[in-house]
Structure 1
Amino acid sequence: MSSDIKRKVVLITGAGSGIGRATAIKLHVLGAILAITDRDIFGTQETYRLCGGKPHYWGVLDVTNKDDISIRIAEIVSRFEHIDHVFNCAGINPTTYALTDTSDEYFDSLMNVNVKGVYNITKETILYMAKGVGSYVNVSSICGLRPKNGFAIYCATKYAIIGFSKSMALELGPMGIRTNVVAPGYIDTPTNAAVVEGQEAVKAMVDATSLGRMGTAEEVADVVVFLMSKEARYMNGSVVEIDGGIKLI
C-alpha cells in the first residue's frame, strides 16, 4: 500500500483532531503529501506539527464558507498542481435531542457542515483531481445506515452522505475518480457524544458492541487509507462499516 500512497497529494478536512488527525498521521508515515485543514487553527497546527511540518500544507478551512474554500483550494493547487485524494472528514457529532426540542440553528448547523460542506469541497476540487487514480472518501456513520432515537437530524445528514456519495461514484467514475464512504460506529474521540456525556453513556456503547470496546481513530484511518490505495481500485460507491459488530438490539 505504501508505494502507491507515497508522494500522493491528499486534502483532509477536519484534520485538527480525531479521525482526521489519525488519518493525516498515517498518510504522513506512508509518504503522502498532505493538505491539512480544519476550522480550528490550533488543532490544524498541531496535526501539521505531528506530521513533521514541511513539505505538507496547513490552512484554516471552514467547509461552510465558499470564499474560504476557494482561497484554500487555490493555494493547495498552486503549491502541488493537483490533488490525488480528498478525505471529507469535517463534521459535527450529534447531541441527543427529541424532535420537539430541536432548534432551527441545530438543524442548519448539522446540515451545513455534514452535508453541504462535503458538497462544497467536492464541487471545488473536481477539476483538480488526478484522473484515473484519484478518489474521494467521505465520512458517514452507522447512523447513516440505521436510525437512532434522539439523533434524527444527525441521521438525516449521514444518510444524505451515502446517497450523495453513491451519486458521486456514478458521475465521477467515468473520469477514473472513485468515491467511497466509511461508516464508523462507536469511536473513542473527544467529540463522541458518549464521551461528552460521561462514563455511563460510554459503557452503553461498549455493551452494544460485540467486540466489547469502542474503536479508535487509528482503526478508521486504516480503512480510509486502504480506500485511497490501488488495492481498492475496483471499489466505487462502497460503504464500509467500521463498527466492531454493533449488536442488533
Structure 2
Amino acid sequence: MTAKFEGKVVLITGAASGIGRATAIKLAEQGASLSLCDINEDALSQVVKELPTAKKHMYLKCDVGVSARCEAAVQHTLASLGKIDFVFNCAGVNPTALEITETTDEYFDKLVNTNLRGPYNITRAVVPHLKEGGAIVNVSSTAGLRATKGFSIYCATKFGIIGFTKAMALELGPKGIRVNAVAPGPIDTPTMAGNVAGGNANDELIASIALGRLGQPDDVADVVVFLFSEESKFMNGSIVEVHGGSR
C-alpha cells in the first residue's frame, strides 16, 4: 500500500472501536504514526497490537469531555512523537431514543460533553501546535443535517459540530489548516441505535438505504483518510455525508 502519510503524526480520539479504530488501521497502513485516545484503555492496547510495528505509535486513556485530559493528551503526543499533523475528533456517544421529558441532566451532559465539548477541547489544545498543511476532521452525523424524533440532544450536538467545523474552517484556513467533517448514517457498530434496539430495527434501517446495507466503519474511514490527503487539498468547511443513500 502506498505510504501517503509517511512521516505524519495523527491524533485520533475514540480510537478503541468502530470508525476510530478502522481509521487508525488505515492511516497506519499508509505510513502514519498514531496517538490513539479513548476512555477504554484496554481496548486501545488491543488496537495498537493490530497496527504495523515499523512505526512508532502510542495510546492514552482520555476523557475528551475534560479539558485538562485533552491538554495532557496533546502534550504527551508532542513529547513522544514530536509533532501533530492531523486530528480526527471521533470520540462520541450514540443516542437513546427518548422524548424530551424522559431525558435527564446526566444524559444531556454525557452527550454534550463527549460529542460537542470533546472536539472543542481537543481542537483548542492542538491548534497552537498545528502547522500549515495540517487538517482536522470531525464526526457529525446525518442527524446533524436532518432532525430525528426522540434524538433531540444528540441532534443538538451533531448540528453543533457542523457549525463548529465551518467556523473553524474560516478561522484556521488562512493558516493553511483545513477543517472538515463526516456525517455518517447508520454504521454497523455495537452501539448503533438499531443494534441496541434489536428486533426488526435494523431491517427497517436497511430498507431505508438505497444501497441496501448498513455502512461499515471502513466506509467512513476511507472518507476520513481522503480528507487528510492531498487529494482533498481544496476542501475546507465541507460536510461529507456517508450513508449509502439513506432516506
- Shorter-chain TM-score category? over 0.9
C-alpha distance in structure 2 between counterparts of 1:12 and 1:127, whole Å:
17
Deviation at residue 42 of structure 1 after TM alignment: 1.2
C-alpha distance in structure 1 between counterparts of 2:8 and 2:205, whole Å:
36
**Mapping of residues 31-70 of structure 1, within 5 Å:** 31-52=31-52, 55-70=56-71
Count of matched residue pairs: 246
Q: Which residue of 1 aligns with 2:96?
A: 95
Q: Which residue of 2 aligns with 1:19?
A: 19
C-alpha distance in structure 2 between counterparts of 1:176 and 1:45, whole Å:
33
Contact map agreement 2:4 2:30 (CA 8 A) in 1 = no
- What are the ranges of 5 or more consecutive residues in structure 1 without an aligned counterpart? none
SS at match of 1:5: coil
Q: Which residue of 2 aligns with 1:121?
A: 122
Q: Which residue of 2 aligns with 1:212?
A: 212
Q: Which residue of 2 aligns with 1:169?
A: 169
> In structure 2, what residue type is equivalent to 1:10?
V
Q: Which residue of 2 aligns with 1:85?
A: 86
Q: What is the RMSD computed on CA atoms of the aligned residues?
A: 1.2
C-alpha distance in structure 2 between counterparts of 1:180 and 1:6, whole Å:
22
SS at match of 1:167: helix
> In structure 1, what residue type is equivalent to 2:25?
I
| CA-to-aligned-CA distance 1:198-218 (integer Å, 9 cap, x gap) | 141111111111111100000
Q: Which residue of 2 aligns with 1:225?
A: 225
- TM-score (normalised: structure 2): 0.97
| CA-to-aligned-CA distance 1:173-204 (integer Å, 9 cap, x gap) | 00000000000001001111111111411111
> In structure 1, what residue type is equivalent to 2:183?
A
C-alpha distance in structure 1 between counterparts of 2:140 and 2:91, whole Å:
11
C-alpha distance in structure 1 between counterparts of 2:6 and 2:204, whole Å:
40
Q: Which residue of 2 aligns with 1:146?
A: 146
Deviation at residue 64 of structure 1 after TM alignment: 1.1
Q: Which residue of 2 aligns with 1:157?
A: 157
Deviation at residue 44 of structure 1 after TM alignment: 0.9
SS at match of 2:92: coil
Contact map agreement 1:82 1:130 (CA 8 A) in 2 = no
> In structure 2, what residue type is equivalent to 1:226?
F
| CA-to-aligned-CA distance 1:31-68 (integer Å, 9 cap, x gap) | 11100111101111111111145510111111012222
For the pair 1:136 / 2:136, whether they are aligned, the reply is yes
Contact map agreement 2:3 2:29 (CA 8 A) in 1 = no
Q: Which residue of 1 aligns with 2:203?
A: 203
SS at match of 1:72: helix
- What are the ranges of 5 or more consecutive residues in structure 2 without an aligned counterpart? none
SS at match of 1:174: helix
> In structure 2, what residue type is equivalent to 1:32?
A
Structure 1's consecutive aligned runs of 4 or more residues displaced over 2 angstroms after TM superposition are 1-4
| CA-to-aligned-CA distance 1:51-104 (integer Å, 9 cap, x gap) | 145510111111012222222211110122211100000000000001111111
Deviation at residue 130 of structure 1 after TM alignment: 2.3
Contact map agreement 2:71 2:122 (CA 8 A) in 1 = no
Identical-residue share of aligned pairs (%)? 50
